[in-house]
Amino acid sequence: MASRQSVLVLCTGNSCRSQMAEAFLRRYHGDRFDVHSAGTLPKDEVHPLAVRAMDEVGVDISEHRPKDVADFLGKLPLAHLLIVCDRANDSCPRVWPGSISRTYMPFDDPADATGDDEAVMAVFRRVRDEIDAAMNRWSPPKE
């Protein structure tokens, strides 16, 4: 059996969007791809509301931890890079050695949401659902 291609989901903090995308990619495509996520400036922990939003749809990311993109650069034979935020797109490597594709698919940062608890949680749910749909239909570009 051929080895699975690696996919890296990249964001700035690796605490919300990229963690959600990693989990959904594993759910929908984990049989075909080895999925990871990282941040250009990783936070100390996964955002608690991201954990809660994912738990609401039966996906446990409570044990996930933010990782630095430097932990993967030059160490992971990456086939596909998915960038899920504007800031990471501006600061991530334009070329990743050995990668086949670089896809930019930005989502709003739910960590920037303001308002009362329910209003903020509504943003986390909306972004989660957008990421869910995008990762479900994601297909790597043809080589």
Of 85, 88, 111, 131, catalytic: 85
- The answer to whether 16 is a known catalytic residue is no
Q: How far apart are CA 128 and CA 99, in angstroms?
A: 27
Of 21, 53, 54, 92, catalytic: 92
Q: How far apart are CA 28 and CA 79, in angstroms?
A: 17
The helix or strand, by DSSP H or E, that contains position 10, with its residue range, turns out to be strand 5-11
Of 8, 9, 10, 11, catalytic: 11
Q: How far apart are CA 19 and CA 32, in angstroms?
A: 19
* Residue partners of 118: CB distance under 8 A and separation at least 6: none
- The count of residues in the chain is 143
Q: How far apart are CA 77 and CA 98, in angstroms?
A: 7
- The answer to whether 85 is a known catalytic residue is yes
Please give the positions annotated as active site: 11, 85, 92
